[in-house]
């Protein structure tokens, strides 16, 4: 399969391509280390850029800058911050093609999808521009008539925003848009795999007029543990917001304990996708394709356990496979591609482990099941994670970061995929008989982020939505993304909500004032 090669040279607005960190309004290398790291295109393994590996000293400087900037930024009017956010949003839309290309090159997702994320990311800026002016306190009726009680809200302080590699723009704007709307100043820590999209966002935010020090950005890949620890332990930071794995979320929470920071954690999911016998088949298939294959299965709300009621199980499997056969797999820059590469080579190994484990427990791989044969011919195989002979067999003649869209039937409770998200384009089909049974199966899980219910029975959709132990339920659709809808989870998926009217509250404190009116 030929790859239509695009590079960062195709980005028209070259000002978006700063290969440095941002501290106090200056684009800088590390002040204490000469180390660098490469940002790599997962479709070709080409090096896209080399960035400074910043460390805890740089992080402390970024925090100092944000801390100083907070002293004046917190006094700005909500309307002036709203204007800055709107300007930033407009610049994102003006630069949408360039931003999408940068994202596709570093993350792998298809260009059309990347453009969709640019628009989705910009929507958070517009949304929080509106929300900035809606922040208000209340007048509380006092029990003691000699007093009057009012509350008002204030920005919490410096916010550290740690964003993942799967949504390199939207997770930045969802966090930082809310923080800046509230009047907080920010230190951004994008994932080391996809820092270029965040850097481009910081450039546009500067152009929109955000004052120096309000936005600082640390570039890090292998120093991420010390950078994360500094952000969590530095007493000048008052809020940490993280999207990523549950493993890292738990670590950050421990590190934040010493300074008792306010925390938002949007962590791993294991979304149940439940198709009832009464579902419209077209709706179910379309929702499953979006819920599973968006970003090659690498979204925190990816449909991970596909429960199908017995009456339509076989027909659903048949039609789903027919549809999956039409999905083009390839480099995200190639015309018509729907499924891009996985962002990490370690993601392929995880997917392969899930396939092997399902087979061992009696699952039938009815479509796909391996890294793509013949993909990326001419490119060096990146298969360094594979070090035993059996596994090496999986990757023979393959380009490891592309995984075949895969369907496995006969999924069972004891399989690995039941307990942890695969984060790859793998559909595992579980058969169920009754509503009660599927609710129990869906809730038998230590995380609870997204979920999907496909049914034409409105009463059932309410019953099931109320019974599921999750933060979000999609009914007859396969996506949960809307800036005006609160996003977040329960159980091991973390806490706090992003977007919605709740999103800005995560960056505010409520202060109460009690006034003596008796004399
Ligand atoms: N909720 C999400 O959107 C999301 C995003 C990425 C990964 N995941 C889940 O995690 C699994 C593994 O992905 P991974 O290999 O990237 O996960 P990981 O646990 O290695 O890293 C996750 C994120 O945390 C950051 N990180 C790592 N160590 C850190 C530290 N000590 N301090 C601060 N930040 C740190 C990384 O930069 C990355 O962005 C995936 O398969 C998926 O299940 C979820
Ligand atoms: O993966 C996390 C975010 C996904 C989304 O906002 O749709």
- Sequence-distant (6+) residues with CB within 8 A of 426 are 297, 351, 354, 355, 368, 403, 406, 408, 417
Residue 379 has what pLDDT? 35
Q: According to the 3-state scheme, what is the secondary structure of 261-293?
A: CEEEEECCCCEEEEECCCCCHHHHHHHHHHHHH
- Of all protein residues, the one whose alpha carbon is nearest to atom 5 of ligand 2 is 481
- Sequence-distant (6+) residues with CB within 8 A of 321 are 366, 367, 407
* Cα(339) to centroid(ligand 2), Å: 17
Q: CA-to-CA distance for 409 and 414, rounded, in angstroms?
A: 14
224-233 helix and 246-257 helix, angle to the nearest 10 degrees? 40
**pLDDT per position as a tens digit, 358-417:** 999 999 999 999 888 655 433 333 333 333 444 444 444 455 688 999 999 999 999 999
Residue 172 structure tokens: 């930045």
Residue 392 has what pLDDT? 47
Ligand 1 proximity of 200 Cβ (cutoff 6 Å): no
Residue 387 has what pLDDT? 38
Q: CA-to-CA distance for 455 and 461, rounded, in angstroms?
A: 7
Residue 44 has what pLDDT? 85
- The answer to whether residue 266 is catalytic is yes
Cα 239 from chain centre = 18
Ligand 1 proximity of 176 Cβ (cutoff 6 Å): no
Ligand 1 proximity of 297 Cβ (cutoff 6 Å): no
Using 70 as the pLDDT threshold, list the residues of the chain that sit under it. 1-4, 373-400
Q: CA-to-CA distance for 446 and 43, rounded, in angstroms?
A: 33
**pLDDT per position as a tens digit, 289-332:** 999 999 999 999 999 999 999 999 999 999 999 999 999 998 99
Select which of 53, 266, 404, 498 is catalytic: 266
Instruction: Name the nearest CA neighbour of 408 among 452, 474, 357, 451.
Output: 357
Predicted complex ipTM:
0.95
> Which atom of ligand 1 has the smallest separation from the CA of 350?
41
Residue 400 has what pLDDT? 62
């Amino acid at each position: 399969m030929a790859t239509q090669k695009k590079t960062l040279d195709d980005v028209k607005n070259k000002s978006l391509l700063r290969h440095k960190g941002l501290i106090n309004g200056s684009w800088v290398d590390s002040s204490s280390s000469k180390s660098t790291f490469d940002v790599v295109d997962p479709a070709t393994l080409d090096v896209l850029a080399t960035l400074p590996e910043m460390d805890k000293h740089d992080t402390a400087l970024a925090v100092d800058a944000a801390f100083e900037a907070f002293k004046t930024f917190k006094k700005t009017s909500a309307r002036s911050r709203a204007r800055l956010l709107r300007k930033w949003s407009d610049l994102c839309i003006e630069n949408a093609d360039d931003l999408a290309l940068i994202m596709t090159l570093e993350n792998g997702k298809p260009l059309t999808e990347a453009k969709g994320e640019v628009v989705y990311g910009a929507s958070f800026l517009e949304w929080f521009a509106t929300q900035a002016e809606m922040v208000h306190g209340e007048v509380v009726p006092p029990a003691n008539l000699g007093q009057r009680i009012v509350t008002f809200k204030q920005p919490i302080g410096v916010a550290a925003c740690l964003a993942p590699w799967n949504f390199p723009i939207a997770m930045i704007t969802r966090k930082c848009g809310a923080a800046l709307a509230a009047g907080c100043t920010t230190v951004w820590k994008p994932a080391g795999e996809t820092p270029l999209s965040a850097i481009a966002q910081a450039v546009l935010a500067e152009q929109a007029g955000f004052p120096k020090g309000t936005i600082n950005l640390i570039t890090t890949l292998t120093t991420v543990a010390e950078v994360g620890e500094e952000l969590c332990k530095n007493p000048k930071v008052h809020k940490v917001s993280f999207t990523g794995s549950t493993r890292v979320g738990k670590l950050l929470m421990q590190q934040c304990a010493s300074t008792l920071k306010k925390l938002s954690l949007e962590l791993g999911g294991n979304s149940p996708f439940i198709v009832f016998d009464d579902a419209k088949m077209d709706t179910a298939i379309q929702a499953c394709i979006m819920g599973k294959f968006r970003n090659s299965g690498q979204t925190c709300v990816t449909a991970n356990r596909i429960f199908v009621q017995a009456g339509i199980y076989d027909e659903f499997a048949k039609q789903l496979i027919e549809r999956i056969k039409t999905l083009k797999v390839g480099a995200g820059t190639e015309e018509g591609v729907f499924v891009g590469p996985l962002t990490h080579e370690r993601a392929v190994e995880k997917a392969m482990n899930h396939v092997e484990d399902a087979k061992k427990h009696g699952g039938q791989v009815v479509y796909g099941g391996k890294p793509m044969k013949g993909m990326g011919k001419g490119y060096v195989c990146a298969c360094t994670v594979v070090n035993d002979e059996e596994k090496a067999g999986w990757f023979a003649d393959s380009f490891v970061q592309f995984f075949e869209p895969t369907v496995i039937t006969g999924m069972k409770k004891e399989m690995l995929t039941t307990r942890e998200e695969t984060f790859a384009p793998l559909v595992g089909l579980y058969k169920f008989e009754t509503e009660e049974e599927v609710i129990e199966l869906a809730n038998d899980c230590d995380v609870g982020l997204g979920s999907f219910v496909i049914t034409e029975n409105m009463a059932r959709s309410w019953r099931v939505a109320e019974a599921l132990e999750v933060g979000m339920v999609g009914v007859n659709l396969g996506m949960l993304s809307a800036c005006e809808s609160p996003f977040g989870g329960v159980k091991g998926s973390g806490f706090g909500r992003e977007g919605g009217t709740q999103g800005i509250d995560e960056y505010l404190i409520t202060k109460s004032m009690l006034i003596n009116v008796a004399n």
